[in-house]
Amino acid sequence: MSRRDFLGQPAPENYVAGLGRGATGFTTRSDLGPAREGPSEDQIKAAVAKRSAQLGLTEAKDDDNEDDGRYQDPDNEVGLFAGGIYEKDDEEADRIWKEVDDRMAKRRQKQREAREEAERLEYERKNPKIQQQFAGLKRALETVTDEEWANLPDPKDLTGRTKRARQARLERFYAVPDSVLAAARDAGQFGTAVAEDGTATEGVNKDGTVTDFAKIGAARDKVLRARLEQQSQSSTVATAGSATSIDPKGYLTSLSSMQGAEQSIGDIEQFRKMLKSAVDSNPKQAASWIAAARLEIAAGKPGAARSLIAKGCEHCPKSEDIWLENIHLNDNRNAKVIAAQAIQANPHSVKLWVEAMKLENDPRSKKKVIRRALDHNQESEALWKEAVNLEEDVEDARILLAKATELIPESLDLWLALARLETPENARKVLNKAVKKLPNSHELWIAAARLEEQLGEGKRRPVMKNAVKFLAKQSAMPKREEWIAEAEKCEEEGAVITCSNIIEETLGWGLDEDDDRKELWMEDARASINRDKFATARAIYAYAIRVFPNSKSLYTAAIDLERNHGTKEDLWHALEKAVEACPHYEVFWLMLAREKAADAGVDEARLVLARAFKQNPDSEDIWLAAVKLEADNGFIDKARELLKTARQNAPTDRVWMRSVAFERQQGDNEAALDLVQQALQLFPSKPKLWMIKGQIYEDLSQLGPAREAYSTGVRAVPSSIPLWLLYSRLEEKAGNVVKARSVLDRARQAVPKSPELWTELIRVERRAGNLNQAKSLMAQALQQMPKSGLLWAERILNLEPRTQRKSLLAEAVKKVEDDPILLVTAARILWAERKLDRAQNWFEKALLLDRDVGDTWAWYYKFLVQHGTEEKRADLVAKCVLNEPRHGEEWTRVAKDPRNAGKKTEEVLKLVAETLS
């Protein structure tokens, strides 16, 4: 089959050579006509549509001309609503929708803010700033000595570019004129010339400069005169009634800070010229005249200042400020004349009348001026207040206030002042009239509530309840936060019942049931406590408990408030309400029993526990609390009987352990051993029972049975770290270091990543003298657990030299986040370096981080014994007793020693502090 060659075939339709690379046809000189052009735009669109139809594709919509009504601007409506009018109903609808949007946005505000904060912190952690990246290198610079700093070489220009430019500048040459050479020759010579009239004396130097000795002398005299005037006017200006202070926001504030007359002469002259130009160009501007007068005062020329301000008053007679400035710059006698002129020009200026009143010395004259002022300004609230303040007779003041409220019915302060001066019955009438004149004022309702409280009717008359209804009807209800602020204000002024009524009626205003009301109210109460407004917080908790009557968290917060800031009776009342609302929550019963035992006696505590038994007959906590009560008060036999009954009625592992511990504390190890054997048959998986059994054998000096107890215990409960530690220490105590090491190796296999086990193994090696092995183990441990404060503390204090402690501590604090053991280690290092203030700050940081670690309290107490005051130590002991710490390596060892049974927290604190080293 023969095919035609490529060049002989006909070209496809609309073919243009090179169209794919952008060619559109061209014409050469040899062509007789233009080359063939490419397809038109319509042809391209048709081809694209044809190809799309072949592929089954739909034609794209042309969105350019689409006019979707959803995206129209509601403020530029067209069509049906083009001629609509924006009325009050529309405004009300927009306001309601806005409140709905705000409510919906506020509903999850806390979660959203917390999420955004977490995302920000995560972003900053993954994308640290350059400053944070070089923080470690910066910190390392503190080890560089002064000598090393001095030996640092200067930076050099390695490119040589600066050196070449400097050399090029030095190699330039210029032609020096003869006048320069002549001036250099005669530079040291001095000559004078006296004019024919003998008035001008000046020295002409050979270099062309002129020395005017007359001007130098005049300047010296001017400086001296300025100094003398400043010294002489410093006292007379004040006595003459002139103002020497300068407005900090004024035009010439900087003049008040000038030092020395020599430095300020030139500046004052320059300012004087500027202000003179401003005054001349616009004499009706009062600010320019005031600034010019104050400049003269700053220059020590009060006479010139008074002259300037007088001219300013002539040009600006309607300006209050310039008249007030003129009054301040003159003495009392002249100031009265000026005040009269000012009031004549401005009879309705309240400031000028008040200033004129202040110029008078006797009360009668002051009253006369104020009354004349009221004739011209009957609706001035400030003038009426001044007039009332001048009255010494209460009846006269009441008459003035009655007249003032008639003329100015919208003044809230005047109504409240009148109500305070009236009798109780008339005060009610006054407040009722005020509410009619000012229906949107909540302050009037609060004043009415306080009036009822003063009359003893605060709890019976529902003033605030009526206030909320009335203000809501008027759409003038303040926000919930504003009501809380008003309640705190009432508490501060002694109106506690009004404070409580405000909270009761307004705390839930604007909150729906789906809002997180309980958390919000608890946050409000905590904020009030931080502001020392405890009555307000108490009212908030009371209202919240009425809404959530079975909330344990609310009762706990209210109890903490009464314990820290209330009386014993308030605390008992709060606990009684808590046990009534939550009778099956043992914690409240135990707290009430403990408070009763501490302040009301054992019998009251027994009654509380008896009531608790009725509500919780099988509660081990209540049984153990009863046992502790009897044991602490010396009723040993009764406590033993209670334990026996508890083992029958509530046979839990805690009851059995308490029974064993009780017998051990009484010194009856045989009875304790018998009880622990019975308990282990019932609860073989409880590690504390195995530990007690081993400790009893250790007390009896029977190491073999103790070893057997620990060995059986770790096989029964291999995850118990304290049991492994007791087993290891028993072997080390017996002199079997190899066995102790083997026990800890088995423990680390059972509990791989335990800082306590690794630390104990490192200490075993260190006590055995294998320091290198201890360091090797420490490196392995930190590789597995780099964020363990216990391991870092052991390394810093016991394995590394003293000179490396600070650098290691900085590295540890950087890697470990919020570990109290590491913070105490930092405090101890600073203590050893005699940096006592910083050490105390680190101790307090550790306490804020975790108050349950007893070792932190003990170390801080030991520090205060050496370097603190008696008051500081007493405060620390009180806080420790309040927090009742229960953990800590040394704390648990001392507190659980049978010989220390029954000791209080304060005694245990002092015993632990004595054992620390």
H or E segment to which residue 210 belongs: strand 210-212
Would the pTM of this model clear 0.85, i.e. be above it? no
pLDDT given at position 56:
63
Task: Yes or no: say if 655 and 671 are a contact pair by the CB < 8 Å rule.
Answer: no
The whole-angstrom separation of Cα 191 and Cα 250 is 49
CB under 8 Å, gap of 24 or more: what pairs does 402-410 form?
A: 405/430, 405/433, 405/434, 407/378, 407/379, 408/379, 408/381, 408/384, 409/437, 409/438, 410/437, 410/438
| Average pLDDT, 10 consecutive residues per value, the chain (917 residues) | 60 68 57 56 79 62 46 50 66 86 79 86 83 76 78 66 66 65 60 44 46 62 63 43 39 41 61 82 86 86 87 88 87 85 86 85 83 81 81 79 81 80 78 81 82 74 82 85 90 88 86 79 92 92 90 91 88 90 88 84 84 84 83 83 84 87 86 89 91 90 91 92 93 91 92 92 92 92 91 91 89 88 92 91 92 92 92 92 89 88 87 89
Could you tell me the two tokens for 839?
């050490």
Could you tell me the two tokens for 571?
């605390």
pLDDT given at position 399:
81
pLDDT given at position 237:
38
How many Å is the Cα radius of gyration of the chain? Answer: 46
The whole-angstrom separation of Cα 472 and Cα 479 is 11
CA nearest to 474, candidates 438, 449, 499: 438
- Tens of pLDDT along 840-883? 999 999 999 899 999 999 999 999 999 989 999 999 999 998 88
**CA-based end-to-end distance of the chain:** 109
Q: By CB neighbour count within 10 A (0-12 exposed, 13-18 middle, 19+ buried), where does 842 fall?
A: buried
pLDDT given at position 722:
92
Whose structure tokens read 């006292």? 235
Task: Yes or no: say if 339 and 327 are a contact pair by the CB < 8 Å rule.
Answer: yes
- Tens of pLDDT along 746-802? 999 999 889 999 999 999 999 999 999 999 999 999 999 999 999 999 999 999 888
pLDDT given at position 419:
79
Could you tell me the two tokens for 645?
């009954």
pLDDT given at position 839:
92
Q: How many CB atoms lie within 10 A of CB 210?
A: 8
pLDDT given at position 71:
47
Could you tell me the two tokens for 791?
């391991």
Q: Helix or strand or coil: residue 853?
A: strand
pLDDT given at position 840:
92
